[in-house]
Amino acid sequence: EAQVTQNPRYLITVTGKKLTVTCSQNMNHEYMSWYRQDPGLGLRQIYYSMNVEVTDKGDVPEGYKVSRKEKRNFPLILESPSPNQTSLYFCASSMGLDGGTEAFFGQGTRLTVV
């Protein structure tokens, strides 16, 4: 089954404790991205990757890191989480750079930083 898998689904952590949210897709997609969703603000892009070893900042990259060492995986790293990073996070992938293909979303990760 074609899918984007995020883990964990729910995470409560403390300020400053490094964490990683994993994202994996099995569709051989080139383009992957991370979004955060906050009430009233919609989905905002954090980082995106056009292929292996090619990543770039989205609209809200501060406080986040990503890596793309393999085509299927695109982890999101919070080196020192803060309460303002409490949010619902989605990983998404799509086939290619032309953007003319649909984005498939993971199930979401609800992160709470206390």
Instruction: Give strand pairing partners of 73.
Output: 24
CB of 59 to another protein, least distance (A): 8
Question: Site for another protein (CB under 8 A): which residue of 20, 30, 51, 58?
Answer: 58
| Residue 102, both tokens | 């649909």
Question: Site for another protein (CB under 8 A): which residue of 7, 61, 67, 105?
Answer: 105
CB of 24 to another protein, least distance (A): 15
Q: What is the rounded distance in angstroms from the CA atom of residue 40 to the CA atom of residue 80?
A: 25
Of residues 1-30, those binding another protein (CB under 8 A): none
Give the three-class secondary structure for 80. coil
Question: Site for another protein (CB under 8 A): which residue of 5, 7, 13, 45?
Answer: 45
Residue indicated by tokens 């770039």: 56
| Residue 49, both tokens | 């990757």
- Which helix or strand (DSSP H or E) is residue 13 part of? strand 10-13
Q: Can you give the binding site for another protein, defined by CB under 8 A?
A: 31, 33, 35, 40-45, 48, 50, 56, 58-59, 88, 90, 92, 94, 97-100, 102-103, 105-108, 110
